[in-house]
Amino acid sequence: MRLGETVTFGGSGLDRAAGLRGDAGRMAALLAQGRVLALWRGKPLVADAALVWLNAQSPVLADAGAPVFLGLEAGVGYFAQDISGWQPQVLAQDQPAGFIDANRQGHPALPDDHAFEDLRGVMAALTPREAELAATAKAILQWHASHGFCAACGAASDIINAGWQRACSACHAQHFPRTDPVVIMLVTRGNKLLLGRSAPWPEGMYSLLAGFVEPGEPLEAAVRREVFEETGITTGAVRYLASQPWPFPASLMLGCIAEATSDAITLDPNELEDALWVTREEMVAVLAGQHPKIKPGRNGAIAHFLMRNWLADRLD
């Protein structure tokens, strides 16, 4: 799909400079003169719908975790640090909990318009480069937060290689960041598109079917299995379209299109609350916010991206 990399979090051409990660001296020099993105409880620091970059000496980073190297741009190093250990004296709770956490958390060392915000809420406003950096930072810091102990022996592991590896000094096992592959699919039948919804989702929210790829399973088989398990719909030809890193917490969404070979829907209630076929004409109303049952998808998510391009006949 020629437009594939224009999806949010898609490729921006970031120079990740992986060959420099093992050079501790170079990393220290880059950090001293570089730019750091702080994340608090998974939320990046933003202002005016853009990422806020700090210098390594910022008081905001006083109790931060180890820096993770994200990449280079024009010779400047970009890093991320987790400050989730910081406890605000006043915790923002001005918005009710929802699908997207709308609470903005300020910091006493920063201007009032600077705040830690849910990446889901700002992702569509970021530039492609900012979006890639934010997605990388969130995913890698979450991996460190949940993988502090060796999976082989249970001992505490150490961060090495500029944040892109953990090493166990007890059994010498090496651990690397993981990404979970997920298929998400446009299931079509002539002029119709298959949509589904999970019970916990907000009222009116429908999306494309999706599911994790199982070990030893090709993408095409995963698409057919997930569609059949969730809706009883059988599918034939499957074609890959585009991918999207989805750091919530660490998935890679693999967008595909599948041709349905049956129509009758048989729901698995453990997977979906509802599923239905939507025509192109109905999808126009959905994306315009005028459908009586289905609300528009979230801008920035690959599901919304694929649906819009299916409707515009731009999947080539």
pLDDT tens column, 207-243 = 999 999 999 999 999 999 999 999 999 999 999 999 9
With 90 as the cut, is the pLDDT of residue 194 above it?
Answer: yes
Report yes or no: 47 and 113 within 8 Å, Cβ to Cβ.
Answer: yes
* pLDDT tens digits, 273-303: 999 999 999 999 999 999 999 999 889 999 9
With 70 as the cut, is the pLDDT of residue 95 above it?
Answer: no
pLDDT-based confidence at 101, cuts 50/70/90? confident
For the chain, what is the total number of helices (H) and then of strands (E)? 6, 15
CA–CA distance from 68 to each of 10, 27, 139, 213 (Å)? 20, 10, 11, 28
Q: What are phi and psi of 35, to 5 degrees?
A: -125, 135
Non-local CB neighbours of 291 within 8 Å, separated by 6+ positions: 282, 285
pLDDT-based confidence at 97, cuts 50/70/90? low
With 70 as the cut, is the pLDDT of residue 134 above it?
Answer: yes
How far apart are alpha carbons 124 and 298 in whole angstroms? 9
Six-digit token string for 262: 């049956």
Report yes or no: 69 and 162 within 8 Å, Cβ to Cβ.
Answer: yes
pTM passes above 0.85: yes
Alpha helix positions (H), 212-301: 219-231, 280-287
pLDDT at residue 96, as a whole number: 52
pLDDT at residue 125, as a whole number: 96
Mean pLDDT of all residues in 171-188: 97
pLDDT-based confidence at 93, cuts 50/70/90? low
pLDDT-based confidence at 13, cuts 50/70/90? very high
pLDDT at residue 99, as a whole number: 67
Non-local CB neighbours of 53 within 8 Å, separated by 6+ positions: 35, 36, 37, 78
Six-digit token string for 182: 């997920």
pLDDT-based confidence at 98, cuts 50/70/90? low
Mean pLDDT of all residues in 160-165: 98
Mean pLDDT of all residues in 159-164: 98
Which DSSP symbol is given to 211? E
Q: Between vectors from CA 139 to CA 238 and to CA 115, what angle results, nearest 5°?
A: 125
Non-local CB neighbours of 2 within 8 Å, separated by 6+ positions: 316
